[in-house]
Amino acid sequence: MLEIRNLHVTVDEGTTKRPILRGLDLAVGAGEVHAIMGPNGSGKSTLAHVLAGREGYVVTAGEVLYRGANLLDLPPETRAREGIFLAFQYPVEIPGVANIYLLKAALNAARKHRGEAELDALDFLALVKAKLRLMQMDESLLYRAVNEGFSGGEKKRNEILQMAVLEPQLAILDETDSGLDIDALKVVANGVNAMRSPERAMILVTHYQRLLDHIRPDRVHVLAHGRIALSGGPELALELERRGYGWVEAKALETAAGARP
C-alpha cells in the first residue's frame, strides 16, 4: 500500500532550512496497522504532513510510493481523493463553513474522482448520521462551523467522523490521542477499530503507548533523529513505556555515526 524509501525532508523556516527526516524507510501493507512512536522532535508529525502534501516541507531525497505510484508529485486534494486521509494533530477552525457542508463536498469530490455518482442529500444524511452515532457525537455539531468552538475532544472526534465518512485506503492519525480524556479516547479507538479491514492500512503517530492499549498495532516503529531506529511487534510499545526513548535515541546516534563515511 505504502512504501517509503530513504526519505530525506527539510523544513523551510524562512531564513534557514532544517533537516528533519534523514533517510526514513517504511513499508505498510493493506490491512495492517502500524504505530510510529518517538520522542518530541523526532519527525513524526513531519512524516504525517509530508504524506498529506503540506507546503513548507522539501523532499531532498528518496521516494514515496502509494499503491505503486509516486505520491510526492500529487497535490494534497488528489492524495485525499486517491484515499489518503490525515487526521490532523491540530485541526484548524474554519469559521463560516458548516461541518456538514465540508463533509458533503469532500465525499462528493472523492466519489467523482472514482467515477461514482454523487450521493443525494437523503442518502448522504443517513450515512453521516450512522457515523455520528458510532462516534457518539451530537448532531448539532454537523451544523456548526468546522471545528469552530469545538473542545479538544470534539475536534479529534470530528476528525475520525470525517475518516469514517470518507472511508480512506490509508489513514494517518497524527497524535489523535493527545488531549483526550479516557472516555473520549475509547470512543475514538472504537471508531478506528470499526474501520479496520483487510483493504485498509493505518498509521498511528503517537508519543504515548496508551492509544495502543485500545488499538492494537501489527507493527511498532520508533522514530529517532529522522529515521526508523527500531521496529518490532506490539510488545515494543510496552518496552518503550517502561524504558523511555533514551536508549533508542542513543542507539540511533551510534548507527548514524557508524554510517558516516
Partner 1 sequence: MTTGAREHYLGRFAAHRARLAGASLPWLQRLRDAAIERFAGLGLPTTREEDWKYTNLSALERRLFDVVADGAQFSGFRNDVAERELARHALDDTHRLVFVDGRYAPGLSHVASLPRGAEIGSLAELVATRPEVAAELLDTDPEAEANGLAALNAAFWTDGAYIDLAPGVAIDAPVHLLFVATRMDLASFPRIVVRTGAGAEATVIEHYAGSDDAVYLTDAVTRIDAGAGARVTHVKVQQESRRGFHIAGIHTLQAADSRFASHSFAFGGQLARNDIATRLEAEGCNAKLAGLYVGSGRQHHDHHTCIDHARPRGTSRELYKGVLDDASRAVFNGRVIVRPGAQRTDAQQSNHNLLLSDGAEVNTKPQLEIWADDVQCAHGATVGQLDADRLHYLRARGLDAATARGLLIHAFAADVLRDITHAGLRARLSTLLPGQLPEDMGELECELLPTS
Which residues of the shown chain bind partner 1 in the complex (CB under 8 A)? 52-55, 75-77, 79-81, 86, 88, 91-92, 94-98, 100-102, 104-106, 108-110, 113, 118, 121, 143-146, 148-149, 162, 166
* Residues 157 and 181: beta-carbon distance below 8 Å: no
Smallest gap from Cβ 52 to partner 1, in A, equals: 5
- 79 or 227, CB closer to partner 1? 79
Cα angle, residue 11 at apex, residues 208 and 5 outer, rounded to 5°: 70
- 58 or 256, CB closer to partner 1? 58
Alpha carbon 211 to its chain's center: 14
Smallest gap from Cβ 78 to partner 1, in A, equals: 8
With CA atoms as reference, report the closest residue to 40 among 4, 109, 89: 89
Smallest gap from Cβ 53 to partner 1, in A, equals: 7
Q: Give CA–CA dist 196/65, Å, rounded.
A: 22
Smallest gap from Cβ 219 to partner 1, in A, equals: 25
Smallest gap from Cβ 210 to partner 1, in A, equals: 26
- 159 or 209, CB closer to partner 1? 159
Phi, psi of 231 (to 5 degrees): -130, 155
Smallest gap from Cβ 56 to partner 1, in A, equals: 9
- 76 or 234, CB closer to partner 1? 76
Per-residue DSSP letters for 134-148? Answer: HTT--GGGGGSEETT
Grid coordinates in use for 110? 472523492
Buried b (16+ CB within 10 A) or exposed e, 71-95: beebeeeebbbbbbbbbbbebeeee
- 110 or 220, CB closer to partner 1? 110
Q: Give CA–CA dist 172/48, Å, rounded.
A: 7
Smallest gap from Cβ 165 to partner 1, in A, equals: 10
- 11 or 94, CB closer to partner 1? 94
- 34 or 79, CB closer to partner 1? 79
Q: How do 57-66 and 2-13 pair as beta strands? A: antiparallel
Distances from the Cα of 165 to the Cαs of 28, 100, 134, in angstroms? 23, 11, 11
Distant-in-sequence, close-in-space partners of 65: CB < 8 Å, separation ≥ 6: 2, 3, 4, 5, 71
